[in-house]
Structure 1
Amino acid sequence: MAKHPFQLEAVWNGGRNSDGHIEAGNLKSSISIPREMGGPGVGTNPDEMLLGAAATCYVITLAAMLERADIGVESLTLHSDAVVDVTNNIFTYESITHKPVITLKAESTPLQVEKAHRLAHKAEESCMISRALAGNVKLATEETVRVV
């Protein structure tokens, strides 16, 4: 069994409403609490990074599954929405909804279209980040599959 370690270095410049910087491999970013949550809104924030991790993992997993199924993809795009609930100053990451648009090549069969729909949901179950979030964050997929 192979294990793949990842490291992150962080510098924080003060109290709650300050900012900082993170570096983890190719990820290099300023960070702070988002303006919508009473912070300075500098750089990115944990909410965006969690959504980014979930969306990136999902779209890569979906692309790999479509390729392994030998489904000809013309294009694959993704829009993902997250909802964070703030009640009594307690922040809860409530849900992530992925909305992939899978555009298949003109020669795609009805069976391939049906399989693309199934794989859009299976990718959510297979993605490492989705599995890490399962039971804590509601995950949903609302796919569109079309043929050009």
Structure 2
Amino acid sequence: MSIQPVDVLYTAVATAENGRDGKVASSDGQLEVVVNPPKEMGGSGAGTNPEQLFAAGYSACFQGALGVVARQEKADISGSTVTAEVGIGKTPEGGFGLKVAIRADIPNVDAATAQALVEKAHQVCPYSSATRGNIEVTVSA
């Protein structure tokens, strides 16, 4: 797999303090959150965590990609939602890895059309492109 060049249109910048048990802020001041490991990983669960932030970004990006595909296919996706589940766990090598499940609910199309739209969106979503071949990602409608 080769790295494709990108003509950058926008760059987001965020800085973390104290890793998974601190805070994260964007350079423009629009985002500032306390981060804390979930209880399942020994934290208090008092703040958000990186997996929630990744799930939020991935679901929003995927919904945007779904909109692009729907316009191309002239499909009605009004009222649709995209949910991203991001799991973190230990790998056989002893490190940690991620696993993602993307689910789209598209009420105005039949099941086969919804699944086809989701699969096409998975090919154009920048988050899907970034994770392809790196982590397990499943998509469903």
Local SS of the residue matching 2:48 = coil
Q: What is residue 25 of structure 2 aligned with on the other side? A: 23
Separation in 2 of the partners of 1:65 and 1:27?
A: 29
Distance 1:120 1:67 in 2: 13
Q: Secondary structure at the match of 1:135?
A: coil
Structure that is richer in strand per residue: 1
- Give the unaligned 5+ runs of structure 1: 144-148
Q: Which residue of 1 aligns with 2:59?
A: 55
Secondary structure, counterpart of 1:97 in structure 2: strand
Q: CA deviation at 1:141?
A: 1.1
Structure index of larger Rg: 1
Identity %: 22
TM-score normalised by L of structure 1: 0.74
Aligned to 1:79: 83
Q: Which runs of 5+ in 2 are unaligned?
A: 1-6
Q: What is the CA–CA distance in structure 2 between the aligned matches of 1:114 and 1:29, rounded to whole Å? A: 39
1:91 matched residue in structure 2 = 96
Say how many residue pairs are matched: 132
Query: What TM-score does the superposition give when structure 2 sets the normalisation length?
Result: 0.77
Offset of residue 101 of structure 1:
0.9
Matched, 1:68 2:72: yes
Contact 1:80 1:97 in 2 (8 A): yes
